[in-house]
Structure formats: structure tokens, C-alpha cells
Amino acid sequence: MVVTGQMEGGRGVNMDSGGRGISTTMLLTELDRFLNLALTTSDKRSHGGRRDAISEGEEQTTAETALFLLRNLPPARPAALAFLAHTLSRQVSSHMRGYSAGDNSRSTEIVDEGLSGQLEGLLGDLLESTPGVWGPLVSQWAVEQLGRWSVEWANTVVGRGDATLEEVVAGWLSCSPARTLASLTVVCVAHDPDTAVAALLDASAASGPALDWLVAHVGCSFPATVISRVLALGLRSFASCHGRPPEHQLASVNKILSHLADRHLPDIRRSLHAILLRTFNGASDPETKASVPFLLCLAVTSRSRAVLAALTSGLDTLLMPGDRLAALANQVGWWVPKYFTTHAQLQEMVVHLVLDTGGSAAPSLLHLLLQGAAPTPKLPVAVASAVNNILQGVVGEICMVTYMRRNAGSSRIHIPFLVGLRGGGLDGSDVGMAVGGKAISPVAGLVEETLASPGSQAVIGHLKQLITLVVVQQGPATATTTLGHLLHCRTQDGTVGLQEILSAVITALMIYHVFQHTPDSPLSTAIAGALQPQTGSSTILTSLISLETMLCRGRKERLHIHPSLTEAILTNIPLLAELINNLALGTAAVQVLCQLPLKRPIPVGHTLGLSHAIIFYFFSSLHESNVTKKICNIGRCQRVLSQLAHSSLALNLIIRLLVEGVFRPECAHLFGAQEKAQIDLKEVPGEMLIKANRQFNSWVKVPQSHTSIFHMGIIGNGRTAPHHQQNIPLSSDIVRLHTQLLLNTLSICCASQANGEGASTVALLLVELISPDIMFNGFPWPEEYIKFTFERDLAIKKTFEDYPIAWSLLEFVATHRAALSYCSVLVRALTAALTAYWNTCPLSTAKQAPEALHATRYLLEVMVTAQFLPGPLGVLPQMVDALAPFELVCILQDVWLYMRDHTPSPDRWLELPSGHHQRTSEPPMGPCYTERIKRIIQSNVATLGHLMSFMVNAEQ
């Protein structure tokens, strides 16, 4: 053991390193002992030639004495360190020979650990107590020994010459003496960084790449210090050699940085950027001018993606604004003859640097190039031209590599720059970038910023080419993600650049689908991802605008992408239908649908869902206060519905939804319905009656017994619904506008089917919704004295009074003539109810009851329009305003008689080639139907005399 306490009495000596209280006699005795042992050991070594010729006891004793003198006798320090160096060297040699022989049970391991531990403990204490004295000495000695060992055993420490730096570090740290000296070097750097690092780098320069492992190991503890010093040393060597330093120097710098990159990448980035920023501080010394060429050579020769990413990431913010790029351009003339042979060589080096840049640094580097390619007041035209040449070189190199690899049979090509642009990691993985847990595409932000810059047509061309290459080379998954994020780009309306980029991406996507688009095809998947509700309303709105613009442009210019894009959007109709119900997105979604060919057959589920959504949007648009916007929205609905109506299934559903909608409380006021109007709509029950019956009893049902009683559901509507909020009455002009918009929509939909199916459907729906009875709804008109339908007639008349839109719908059906036959029950009920009203009316003239008079005139006009009342009866609507109530009763009774004798069956009308219907010719009308009408005209000849000629001419 090393004696450090107080020794025998005697005259003490005071030294800066210890030795207090130790007598001179003891120091001399230990010195003499050390010399004798050293000489003896040297003789045995020279004669024996083997380590086992020296006893372990003699070596241990000599080492302990050397450690004692090292601590307590300053003049003996060089000799003690020299002896310790020789002793440690023998231990290293023994370790390496055992490693080469595969001997893992060396007997000297315990001895090595003991001496190394004593040495580390002693020098560690001395460094802690007096670092200013011991730091330079220990650091210089330690790195010299490690450098000598590293050179001597460079090919033995790992066993092969192509070992990585990490393997070399692990190999040396497995050797106890080397591990001890490496730890002491770290301690020296901690106490005196400048001196220790200088000694370390001097030894590294003297030993060459063999000592890189020690620099890397120390750098793990003091990354900022070691990285900056290593880079400074490399830059100094690069500048002094005029850009042509020995290859091992740049390789050493790269190895050290690569070893530190895993844990200390930010420190490497800061140091590299600090060297770059020296270029702009105005200094003109050779090292400053050589900074950028040094970094370029370092990046090109680096095999570490992490080091390359550290250098290239953040360059867009570091070198912009453009005055810094201009400053670099001014130095190119000095670089080329000194560090680069020609400008072409410099450009080629930059192009390969760009292609080798991956990860998050790739978008950053592309951002810088795109900013530099567009001329600005701070950026000369020559700089923009040079950057454009670099971008063209990048695109050309990628195309050439792609062509060569594809010819060689390689499917997916790994180009780090393209992988980084798609959002992949440095290793080519699909880790990508994420914000809020969602994957993002780095190119989306570049597209937005580039399109926002003025005069960027050439830049857009470069960006379009690069994005297309990313889509083509990185597979359908990348293509899908890229297109989805490009659809989310927010740009000015009508931006041509974005449309060109999207067209290029879609063109590239088309190579991944075979013949038919399915929901799983890449293009369909990309559009579906862009329209997912969880992406946010503003983002979806941007996507819808982009899709609508592309569809419109593709149709007008007949672009080759239009059919594929159309098919892909058609597969996503359910998503569009869902978005229509969103008030913020409904208009944009409908605009996209207006550009689609919906006449072609589409799945039934898509048809039903889209029909419901469009009708919802129709009634929502009627609530719009802006009349212009309202009319535009309804026009879009009509365009979509007219295409859907080519399917009979869709036509029947659309008509049902429209007609039912006008009678619902939330929409009825839009068409002038009375405030308290209410109609019982037949709702579909939420559960089957058989399930409801199971809740009442559980006994076995026996047919034709009391157990077979069947529960027929809830009587009426069940619990009274809450009172609806009162709606603000609308003006008559707005009500007429709504009515006309509804009738136009119905006309457009019915025109899609040439067989008049639409009008018949409207007629049947009116009967279903308005007539409260399912009996006596046929075509025949019974005898007038049959009164068992009187209550139903009054209910139907009340419905027409509460819902004025019912008259408009009835008139719409009458324009199709034969279709009104299906509404015979409604016309019959109105006629009977009005006859009863006028029969009991106490007024002298019909004008004194304007509402009943208006209903009577409207009813007669409907019957005349549908040719229910042909010939001389066609003048009846013109007579009613001048008649008395009893005269109206006579007219309505004659109408009833005629309808009783001439049943309004649909077979009484013939379809003309024009598509209209004409009532079949019948014998002249008998006097029993017109006699009283003529007398009424004669009694009111002053006002109705001009109608007698029509009666006479019609009879003839």
C-alpha cells in the first residue's frame, strides 16, 4: 500500500505536493530503495526477456515505492512516472497478447487492477488538491502513454482493421491501464480544460487516427469543449494545407463527431454553425475564408447522417435574409482556384451534399434553396441563377439514379433527401414528423410559403418536380400522405401553382392503381384522409376548395387527371354527404358535388345518404337571410338533385323528402304555414312491434284465444312534444320565393324521368300526408248525399288552409294532368267542403268571404288545368268573383255531377310525343251540366255576359 501518513520523526520538509511531516531520511531511504529495485528489475528484464522472470512481489514493491516518491519527492517525479509508464506498458502488452490468444483468464488481471487503482486514486487526489501543479503534468504524461499504446496496438485492440470507433473505445476501456489513464485525462480536462485539451489534441496530431478513440471518449464528458477544439484544429489544418489536408485528418474529425452525435448532436450543430457564422463577421484571415470550404469537405466526406444533419439543419434561418447568401457568393471567386478546381466541381459537391441530407434537415435545406432561387432586392440575379442550377442538378441526379437503379431491377430507391422530404427519419424509417400526435408532411409548409412569394414560377417548377419524385420513388403510402397534406395547403383562391403541383402528384399516384378505383386505392385513400372530420373544419374547407378547383379546371382544360380524380371522389361520397350537414362546410361540399357526374349509377347506399344530405342543405339554405346566397345555394342543390333523379329510387326518395319537409314544423313557416299548423307525419318507429309486445306479457300465445291479443303500439304520438319556439313571420315576397324555388326543384327532378313518374309520386305523397283516412281514396266520385266522409273532408280543407304550399303542390300536380287523378280524393274533399260552406253561408255576395272565394277559384283553376273540367266548364274560374253563395253552390254541384259521371282515371289521358298529356276526346257535354251555368251567366249578364260565347262555342 502507499504510505501517505506521518512517518518517523526527523526534520520535516514542506512541499507543494505533500510530504509534510516526512523526514528527509525516509525520503532518501525510499529513493535508494526505488533505484535498487529499478536497477534489479531492469537487469532481470534484459537477461530474462520475459515478464515472469520478474517476481510479482518485486514489481509491486517497486511500483508502491514509485507512487510514494511521486507524491512526496518532486525531483523524482519524472523517474517515477517513467517507471510507472514502463510497468503499465507491460500490463497493456500482456493484456493485448492475451486478447490476441483468446485467453480470458489472465493471471495478471488482478495485479493490473491493483496498480491501476492505486495510480488512479493517488493522482486523482493530487489533482483534486492542487490541479494547477498536477494537471499539466498528468495530462501530458497520460495522453503520451495512450498515444504510444494506441499506435503500437492499433490493429490488435479490436482484432480487425475496419472496426468502428465505438468498438475501438470499448476495446481500450476493457484494458485496465488504458481505462485508468483515460479517466485521469477526463479529470484533467475537468480542472484545466485549455491545457488538457491542448495536450490531447497535440497527442492526437502526433499519433494520427489511432488516438481518435480517446478524443471521442473525453468528448462524451465535455462535448462542447472537445467538439469546438477538434473542429478548430481541423479548420486550421485545412486552411494551412490550402484545402488539401491529409485524408486521415478529416476522417478523424468525422469519426469523433460521429461518435458524439448520438448524445450530443445539439453541441455539434452549434459548433458547426459557429464556424459558418465566422464568415459573416468581416474577418479576412485564411481560416475564416476557409470556413465554408472546410464545412463542405467535412460534410461530403462524412459517413454519419447525424453529422450531416447537424450541419444542414437550420441553414434556412441561418443564411436568410439574402445578404448572407450574397456574402457567400462574393467569396466563391476566392474558393474556386484555391479549394475547388472549377465551379462545376463546387456545384457537384453541393448537389451531392443535398442528396445525402435526410431527416428533418432535408426540408430545411430545400427551404433555403427555394428562397435563394427567387431573385429579391437583397439577392443578386447571379446568386438566384446559381441556386436554380443547383436545384436542376438535384432533380437531374435523382432522375439519373432512378433510371439506373430501375434498369438494374431495384424497386424502391433510397435517396436520403427524398426520404427526408416525405418525413422519414435519418435511417430511412417511416417515423416522420408529428404535431399533436398526427403525422405531417414537410412539403406542405414549403408549398404554402413558395406560392405566397411573388414571381416564383421557376421555383414552383422545381418544387413540383421534387414532390413528384418523392411521390413516385417513396411508394403509395408516401404518395397518399403527401397528397392529403397538399390538399390542406392554404393559398389564395385560384392559385395556379398549387393546382399544377396537385396535378403532378395525382399523375404520379395514377401509376399505383390498376384499372378501377376502389376505396382502398391510393388516390381515394388520400382524398378520404383529407376529408376526415377529425382534421378540423378549416382544414377540410381548404381541401374541398382545392378539389373543386381541380375538378373545374380539369373539365374545362380536359386534363388527363380528371377521370381518375372524379372516380376517386365518387368513392368518397359518404364523406361528402356527412360534410354537407356541417354548416361551415356544406356549401364547399355541394360545390364539389356539382362538378361530379352523378348521372352514372352509384351504389344505393351512396345515393340514399347523399339524397338526405342534399335535402337537408336545401332546407337549411332557405333559412339563409341573404337572398342572393340563398338562390345560389338552391341552384347547386338543383344541379345535384337533377343528376341523382336519373335513378328511380333516388327520385322517389328526393320527392318524398322535399314534400314531407314542407309540412314539418321547422320548415313549414318558410312556405307561409299558419303558426299553430300541425300535421301528423307518419314516422318510422324505432323498434318493431313484435319487440314491443314482448314487454307486456311472456305467456305462450295460443291462436284464436284471448292470449292472441296483439298490442298495436302507442295510440297517437305518445307524450306531448315540447312547444316549438315561435318563428318570425316571413314577408309574402319571401314566401313566394321559397314556394317558387321548391316547385322549380321538383320540376327539375321530375324532368329527369320521361314517364311522368315524379308528378305521380308527388300526388300520391299529398294524399298520404293530407288525407287522414285510408278508405274511399279511389278515383270515383260518389253521390253527393253520401256524407260519411264529411269529417275527413273538413280535415283536408283545414290542412289546405293551414299550409298554403299544399295548393301550390296541387297545382304542380295539375300541370301534369293525368297525375292529378291520384289526388282525386283531395279534389273531391275540397269540393264537398266548399259546397257545404257556401250552402250555409249567410252572406249576400261571395266577395264578402275572400278566403273561401280564393279557395274555390283556386280549386276550379286546378281542375281546369288538369282537364278535369273540359269544354264549357273551363270558364268557371272566371265566374266565381261575381256570384252569390247560392250560385256557387249550383256551380259546385254541377261540377260534382260531371265528375261523378266522368271518373278522373289516369287512362282518360293520352301521352303526347312532347311528353305532355291530353284528355281523350269525349262526346259533347250534355245540357244537364251546363244549363244552370248558362242561367247564372244570364242573370249576371252585366259582368259575365262575355262568357256566354265560350259556353256556346264549346257546346258546338
Q: What is the pLDDT of residue 892?
A: 92
- Integer-rounded Cα radius of gyration of the chain: 49
**H/E stretch holding 146:** helix 131-152
Across the range 826-853, mean pLDDT stands at: 91
pLDDT at residue 429 greater than cutoff 70 = no
pLDDT at residue 775 greater than cutoff 50 = yes
Distance from C-alpha of 805 to C-alpha of 817, rounded to nearest angstrom? 19
Q: pLDDT, tens digit, for every residue of 203-236?
A: 877 887 788 888 888 888 888 888 888 888 888 8
Q: What is the pLDDT of residue 634?
A: 94
Assign 693 a pLDDT band (cuts: 50, 70, 90): very low
Across the range 796-807, mean pLDDT stands at: 92
Q: pLDDT, tens digit, for every residue of 733-745?
A: 999 999 999 999 9
pLDDT at residue 710 greater than cutoff 60 = no
Q: What is the pLDDT of residue 191?
A: 83
Orientation of helix 247-277 relative to helix 165-173, angle to 10°:
110
Cell output for 786: 253520401
Q: pLDDT, tens digit, for every residue of 501-550?
A: 778 777 777 766 544 556 667 778 888 888 888 878 888 888 888 888 88
Question: What is the residue-averaged pLDDT of the chain?
Answer: 77
Q: What is the pLDDT of residue 858?
A: 93
Report the 10 Å Cβ neighbour count for 750: 24
pLDDT at residue 3 greater than cutoff 50 = no
Which residue type occupies 289? K
Judged by average pLDDT, the poorest of 140-154, 301-315, 637-651, 825-839 is 301-315
For 911, the 3-state DSSP assignment is: strand
DSSP alpha helix (H) spans, 571-709: 573-580, 586-594, 604-622, 627-644, 648-662, 665-668, 689-693
Assign 636 a pLDDT band (cuts: 50, 70, 90): very high
pLDDT at residue 632 greater than cutoff 90 = yes
Q: Which residue has the higher pLDDT, 921 or 824?
A: 824
Assign 694 a pLDDT band (cuts: 50, 70, 90): very low
pLDDT at residue 885 greater than cutoff 60 = yes
Nearest to 19 by CA among 177, 110, 129, 120: 129
Are the CB atoms for 713 and 685 separated by under 8 Å?
yes
Name, of 376-390, 446-460, 636-650, the range with top average pLDDT: 636-650
Distance from C-alpha of 606 to C-alpha of 410, rounded to nearest angstrom? 41
Distance from C-alpha of 218 to C-alpha of 211, rounded to nearest angstrom? 11
pLDDT at residue 68 greater than cutoff 60 = yes
Q: Which residue has the higher pLDDT, 353 or 425?
A: 353
Q: Which residue has the higher pLDDT, 711 or 15?
A: 711
Assign 82 a pLDDT band (cuts: 50, 70, 90): confident
Q: What is the pLDDT of residue 222?
A: 82
Judged by average pLDDT, the poorest of 414-418, 457-461, 712-716, 880-884 is 712-716
For 303, the 3-state DSSP assignment is: coil
Across the range 710-725, mean pLDDT stands at: 51
